Protein backbone atom coordinates (compact mmCIF):
# COMPACT_ATOMS: atom_id res chain seq x y z
CA UNK A 1 0.00 0.00 0.00
CA UNK A 2 1.08 3.58 -0.61
CA UNK A 3 0.56 4.52 3.01
CA UNK A 4 1.64 1.86 5.50
CA UNK A 5 0.83 2.56 9.14
CA UNK A 6 2.34 0.63 12.04
CA UNK A 7 0.76 1.31 15.36
CA UNK A 8 2.31 0.65 18.77
CA UNK A 9 -0.35 0.51 21.47
CA UNK A 10 -1.38 -1.18 24.71
CA UNK A 11 -4.91 -1.44 23.28
CA UNK A 12 -4.61 -3.15 19.89
CA UNK A 13 -8.28 -4.21 20.09
CA UNK A 14 -9.28 -0.55 19.59
CA UNK A 15 -8.13 -0.80 15.94
CA UNK A 16 -9.16 -0.45 13.19
CA UNK A 17 -12.30 0.67 15.06
CA UNK A 18 -13.81 3.63 13.21
CA UNK A 19 -10.99 3.45 10.66
CA UNK A 20 -12.52 0.18 9.42
CA UNK A 21 -15.73 2.02 8.45
CA UNK A 22 -16.82 4.44 5.78
CA UNK A 23 -14.25 6.04 3.51
CA UNK A 24 -11.16 4.94 5.44
CA UNK A 25 -12.52 1.40 5.80
CA UNK A 26 -13.22 1.04 2.09
CA UNK A 27 -9.78 2.41 1.28
CA UNK A 28 -8.29 -0.11 3.74
CA UNK A 29 -10.14 -2.97 1.99
CA UNK A 30 -8.91 -1.74 -1.40
CA UNK A 31 -5.34 -1.68 -0.10
CA UNK A 32 -4.93 2.08 -0.58
CA UNK A 33 -3.39 2.02 2.87
CA UNK A 34 -2.51 -0.63 5.46
CA UNK A 35 -2.58 -0.87 9.23
CA UNK A 36 -0.45 -3.15 11.36
CA UNK A 37 -1.08 -3.04 15.09
CA UNK A 38 1.67 -4.04 17.52
CA UNK A 39 0.79 -4.81 21.13
CA UNK A 40 3.37 -3.07 23.33
CA UNK A 41 2.68 -5.54 26.14
CA UNK A 42 4.11 -8.28 23.95
CA UNK A 43 7.53 -6.65 24.38
CA UNK A 44 7.57 -6.63 28.17
CA UNK A 45 10.50 -8.56 29.61
CA UNK A 46 9.58 -9.63 33.12
CA UNK A 47 7.11 -12.30 34.17
CA UNK A 48 4.55 -9.69 35.21
CA UNK A 49 4.71 -8.26 31.68
CA UNK A 50 5.02 -4.76 33.12
CA UNK A 51 5.21 -1.93 30.63
CA UNK A 52 5.25 1.01 33.04
CA UNK A 53 6.77 2.10 36.33
CA UNK A 54 6.60 4.97 38.82
CA UNK A 55 8.17 8.29 37.78
CA UNK A 56 11.67 9.16 39.05
CA UNK A 57 11.35 12.28 41.17
CA UNK A 58 7.97 11.22 42.44
CA UNK A 59 4.49 12.33 41.52
CA UNK A 60 1.30 10.74 40.35
CA UNK A 61 0.78 8.10 37.71
CA UNK A 62 2.99 5.77 35.76
CA UNK A 63 5.51 6.17 32.96
CA UNK A 64 6.00 3.75 30.08
CA UNK A 65 9.40 2.06 30.25
CA UNK A 66 12.03 2.95 27.64
CA UNK A 67 13.31 -0.62 27.25
CA UNK A 68 9.84 -1.97 26.44
CA UNK A 69 9.03 0.81 23.95
CA UNK A 70 12.47 0.41 22.37
CA UNK A 71 11.97 -3.35 21.94
CA UNK A 72 8.58 -2.72 20.31
CA UNK A 73 10.04 -0.17 17.86
CA UNK A 74 13.05 -2.34 17.06
CA UNK A 75 10.89 -5.36 16.34
CA UNK A 76 9.87 -3.65 13.09
CA UNK A 77 13.30 -3.71 11.37
CA UNK A 78 13.98 -7.03 13.09
CA UNK A 79 11.14 -8.48 10.99
CA UNK A 80 12.57 -6.84 7.87
CA UNK A 81 10.19 -3.89 8.01
CA UNK A 82 10.81 -0.19 7.97
CA UNK A 83 10.04 2.23 10.82
CA UNK A 84 9.65 5.17 8.45
CA UNK A 85 8.48 8.33 10.10
CA UNK A 86 8.15 7.80 13.87
CA UNK A 87 5.36 9.81 15.47
CA UNK A 88 4.57 9.99 19.19
CA UNK A 89 1.12 11.35 20.01
CA UNK A 90 1.10 13.61 23.06
CA UNK A 91 -0.56 16.85 24.14
CA UNK A 92 3.05 18.17 24.44
CA UNK A 93 3.54 17.80 20.69
CA UNK A 94 3.33 20.36 17.92
CA UNK A 95 -0.32 21.05 17.02
CA UNK A 96 -1.47 19.03 14.02
CA UNK A 97 -2.31 21.20 11.00
CA UNK A 98 -3.59 20.40 7.51
CA UNK A 99 -0.11 21.19 6.13
CA UNK A 100 1.40 18.63 8.52
CA UNK A 101 -1.29 16.09 7.59
CA UNK A 102 -0.37 16.51 3.90
CA UNK A 103 3.29 15.98 4.70
CA UNK A 104 2.59 12.80 6.71
CA UNK A 105 0.13 11.43 4.11
CA UNK A 106 2.94 11.71 1.57
CA UNK A 107 5.17 9.40 3.66
CA UNK A 108 5.13 5.76 2.50
CA UNK A 109 5.69 4.34 5.99
CA UNK A 110 4.59 5.81 9.31
CA UNK A 111 5.04 4.31 12.78
CA UNK A 112 2.76 5.77 15.43
CA UNK A 113 3.40 5.35 19.15
CA UNK A 114 0.37 5.69 21.40
CA UNK A 115 1.18 6.46 24.99
CA UNK A 116 -0.95 5.80 28.04
CA UNK A 117 -0.69 6.87 31.65
CA UNK A 118 1.41 9.97 32.28
CA UNK A 119 3.54 9.38 29.22
CA UNK A 120 6.60 7.65 27.86
CA UNK A 121 10.15 7.84 29.22
CA UNK A 122 11.77 10.82 27.49
CA UNK A 123 14.98 8.95 26.63
CA UNK A 124 13.43 6.46 24.22
CA UNK A 125 11.70 9.29 22.35
CA UNK A 126 15.00 11.13 21.92
CA UNK A 127 16.90 7.96 21.12
CA UNK A 128 14.62 7.26 18.14
CA UNK A 129 14.15 10.91 17.15
CA UNK A 130 10.38 10.64 17.56
CA UNK A 131 8.31 13.49 16.19
CA UNK A 132 5.80 14.63 18.83
CA UNK A 133 2.34 15.63 17.61
CA UNK A 134 -0.79 16.81 19.43
CA UNK A 135 -4.27 16.72 17.90
CA UNK A 136 -5.51 19.62 20.02
CA UNK A 137 -5.22 21.58 23.23
CA UNK A 138 -7.07 19.12 25.43
CA UNK A 139 -6.00 15.91 27.14
CA UNK A 140 -7.17 12.48 26.02
CA UNK A 141 -6.77 9.40 28.19
CA UNK A 142 -4.35 7.98 25.66
CA UNK A 143 -2.88 8.41 22.21
CA UNK A 144 -5.28 5.96 20.50
CA UNK A 145 -8.11 8.34 19.63
CA UNK A 146 -5.46 10.87 18.54
CA UNK A 147 -3.96 8.22 16.24
CA UNK A 148 -7.40 7.66 14.72
CA UNK A 149 -7.73 11.39 14.09
CA UNK A 150 -4.29 11.60 12.48
CA UNK A 151 -4.76 8.50 10.31
CA UNK A 152 -8.25 9.55 9.17
CA UNK A 153 -6.99 12.98 8.15
CA UNK A 154 -4.13 11.39 6.16
CA UNK A 155 -6.15 8.61 4.51
CA UNK A 156 -8.74 10.95 3.00
CA UNK A 157 -5.91 12.72 1.15
CA UNK A 158 -4.64 9.51 -0.51
CA UNK A 159 -5.22 9.32 -4.29
CA UNK A 160 -8.62 7.84 -5.11
CA UNK A 161 -9.94 7.75 -1.54
CA UNK A 162 -12.28 10.72 -1.72
CA UNK A 163 -13.88 9.58 -4.99
CA UNK A 164 -16.88 11.74 -5.75
CA UNK A 165 -16.51 13.81 -2.59
CA UNK A 166 -14.85 17.18 -2.23
CA UNK A 167 -11.56 17.69 -3.98
CA UNK A 168 -9.34 18.40 -0.98
CA UNK A 169 -7.80 21.50 -2.55
CA UNK A 170 -11.25 22.94 -3.26
CA UNK A 171 -11.94 22.97 0.45
CA UNK A 172 -11.96 26.38 2.01
CA UNK A 173 -9.66 25.12 4.78
CA UNK A 174 -6.94 24.93 2.17
CA UNK A 175 -7.39 28.67 1.80
CA UNK A 176 -7.28 29.31 5.52
CA UNK A 177 -11.05 29.77 5.77
CA UNK A 178 -13.74 27.80 7.57
CA UNK A 179 -16.45 26.24 5.40
CA UNK A 180 -19.54 28.10 4.24
CA UNK A 181 -22.88 26.65 5.48
CA UNK A 182 -24.57 23.83 3.56
CA UNK A 183 -28.23 23.27 2.64
CA UNK A 184 -30.21 20.53 0.90
CA UNK A 185 -33.87 19.67 0.20
CA UNK A 186 -36.48 20.50 1.22
CA UNK A 187 -36.11 24.15 0.17
CA UNK A 188 -38.70 25.04 2.81
CA UNK A 189 -38.45 23.07 6.05
CA UNK A 190 -40.78 23.24 9.07
CA UNK A 191 -39.16 22.53 12.45
CA UNK A 192 -40.72 20.97 15.56
CA UNK A 193 -41.98 24.37 16.77
CA UNK A 194 -43.78 24.87 13.46
CA UNK A 195 -41.31 27.50 12.36
CA UNK A 196 -40.56 27.65 8.64
CA UNK A 197 -36.99 27.77 7.46
CA UNK A 198 -36.22 28.74 3.87
CA UNK A 199 -32.94 28.04 2.11
CA UNK A 200 -31.00 31.24 1.27
CA UNK A 201 -32.53 32.53 -1.98
CA UNK A 202 -29.24 32.85 -3.83
CA UNK A 203 -28.63 29.09 -3.63
CA UNK A 204 -31.71 28.31 -5.71
CA UNK A 205 -31.15 31.22 -8.10
CA UNK A 206 -29.03 29.20 -10.50
CA UNK A 207 -26.47 32.04 -10.70
CA UNK A 208 -23.22 30.18 -10.29
CA UNK A 209 -21.13 33.33 -9.82
CA UNK A 210 -23.54 34.75 -7.23
CA UNK A 211 -23.53 31.44 -5.34
CA UNK A 212 -19.74 31.48 -5.37
CA UNK A 213 -19.58 35.05 -4.06
CA UNK A 214 -22.17 34.32 -1.35
CA UNK A 215 -20.29 31.25 -0.16
CA UNK A 216 -17.07 33.18 -0.10
CA UNK A 217 -18.62 35.96 1.98
CA UNK A 218 -20.15 33.44 4.41
CA UNK A 219 -16.81 31.63 4.78
CA UNK A 220 -15.04 34.92 5.50
CA UNK A 221 -17.68 36.01 8.01
CA UNK A 222 -17.67 32.75 9.97
CA UNK A 223 -13.87 32.68 10.00
CA UNK A 224 -13.66 36.23 11.39
CA UNK A 225 -16.29 35.47 14.03
CA UNK A 226 -15.07 32.06 15.21
CA UNK A 227 -11.40 31.95 14.38
CA UNK A 228 -9.80 35.37 14.58
CA UNK A 229 -6.44 33.56 14.72
CA UNK A 230 -6.99 32.03 11.27
CA UNK A 231 -8.35 35.32 9.94
CA UNK A 232 -5.34 37.31 11.15
CA UNK A 233 -3.01 34.78 9.54
CA UNK A 234 -4.82 35.31 6.22
CA UNK A 235 -4.65 39.08 6.51
CA UNK A 236 -0.93 38.86 7.27
CA UNK A 237 -0.46 36.60 4.22
CA UNK A 238 -2.23 39.25 2.17
CA UNK A 239 -5.60 37.50 1.65
Q: Where does this chain bind ligand ADE (CB under 6 A)?
A: 89-91, 134-136, 138-140, 143, 146
Q: Could you give the CA distance from residue 53 to residue 193 in angstroms, rounded to a whole number?
A: 57
Distances (CA, A) of 15 to 33, 86, 186, 196: 14, 19, 38, 44
Q: How far is the CB of 232 from ligand ADE (least distance, A)?
A: 24
Identity of the residue, 146 or 155, whose beta carbon is nearer to ligand ADE in the bound complex: 146
Contacts of 106 by beta carbon, 8 Å cutoff, 6+ apart: none
Q: How far is the CB of 150 from ligand ADE (least distance, A)?
A: 8
Identity of the residue, 105 or 161, whose beta carbon is nearer to ligand ADE in the bound complex: 105
Q: Could you give the CA distance from residue 151 to residue 138 in angstroms, rounded to a whole number?
A: 19
Q: Quote the distance between the C-alpha of residue 190 and its chain's center.
A: 37
Q: Could you give the CA distance from residue 228 to residue 118 in angstroms, rounded to a whole number?
A: 33
Identity of the residue, 121 or 177, whose beta carbon is nearer to ligand ADE in the bound complex: 121
Q: How far is the CB of 227 from ligand ADE (least distance, A)?
A: 19
Q: Could you give the CA distance from residue 55 to residue 123 in angstroms, rounded to a whole number?
A: 13
Q: Detail the residues annotated as belonging to a binding site for S-adenosyl-L-methionine.
A: 115, 135-140
Identity of the residue, 119 or 156, whose beta carbon is nearer to ligand ADE in the bound complex: 119
Q: How far is the CB of 12 from ligand ADE (least distance, A)?
A: 17
- Bridge-based pairing of strands 85-95 and 109-114 is parallel
Amino acid sequence: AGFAVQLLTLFPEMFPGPLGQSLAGKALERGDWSLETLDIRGFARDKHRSVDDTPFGGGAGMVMRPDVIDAAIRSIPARGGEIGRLIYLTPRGALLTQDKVKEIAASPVVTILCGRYEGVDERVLQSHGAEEISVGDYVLSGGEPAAMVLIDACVRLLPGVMGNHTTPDEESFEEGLLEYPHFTRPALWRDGADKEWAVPEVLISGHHEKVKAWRRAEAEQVTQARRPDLWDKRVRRGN
